[in-house]
Amino acid sequence: MSLQESNKQTASKLTEQICQLHRILNRTARAQGIKIRSEAAAVGITPRQQLALQELVVENGLSLKKLSERMGLSHSTVSGIVDRLEAKKMVYRRPDENDRRINRIYHSERVKGYIKRARPQMYVPLVASISASSAGECARIIDGLDCLLVLLQEEDEKQ
């Protein structure tokens, strides 16, 4: 086999692996997203708004920049999400005490209660699946996804 043929086979295998990974990630997100969309719709918010609220429950008072990073969405997209949540009285903005140019975003008290009630329901499919796995399987899943995330972030920083 020539070097050129070997390179074509390697490229073909890589393409196949990327397609397989993409399918797995899409199916995983879809399977989990069904429950999240259902819980969000029950209170009249979108899944992205729900994600923003979850991030704020984990760490209240994030800047828009930090919230955007955590959600993996653009600053302008998250700004719109926060605007709509603010209109629903689910979040509010306050200037940062040390730098008045930065606004901090805080969740309302009712959001904390909602997320505490809804979060366990949103993750039922994921909890059931992970609970059924062995400790080794769970560790491999986490290690593999963490490795992929690091590689994607490194590639993003190069661009």
> What integer is the mean pLDDT of 71-96?
94
**β-bridge pairing 62-63 and 103-107:** antiparallel
Cα(147)–Cα(50) distance, rounded to whole angstroms?
26
**pLDDT at position 120 over 70:** no
Secondary structure E strands in 51-108: 62-63, 91-95, 103-107
Read off the pLDDT of residues 57-73 as tens digits, 9 standing for 90 and up: 889 999 999 999 999 89
CA dist 71 and 65 (Å) reads: 10
* Partner residues linked to 104 by β-bridges: 63, 94
Residue 41 has pLDDT above 90, yes or no: no
Are the CB atoms for 73 and 48 separated by under 8 Å? Answer: yes
Tell me which residue of 44, 45, 47 sits closest to 71, measured CA to CA.
47
> What pTM was estimated for this model as a whole?
0.62
Nearby residues of 48 by Cβ (< 8 Å), 6 or more positions away = 71, 73, 77, 81
Q: What is the pLDDT of residue 128?
A: 77
Asked if pLDDT for residue 122 goes beyond 70, the answer is no
Mean pLDDT of the chain: 83
Q: Tens digit of pLDDT for each residue in 23-38? A: 888 777 777 667 677 7
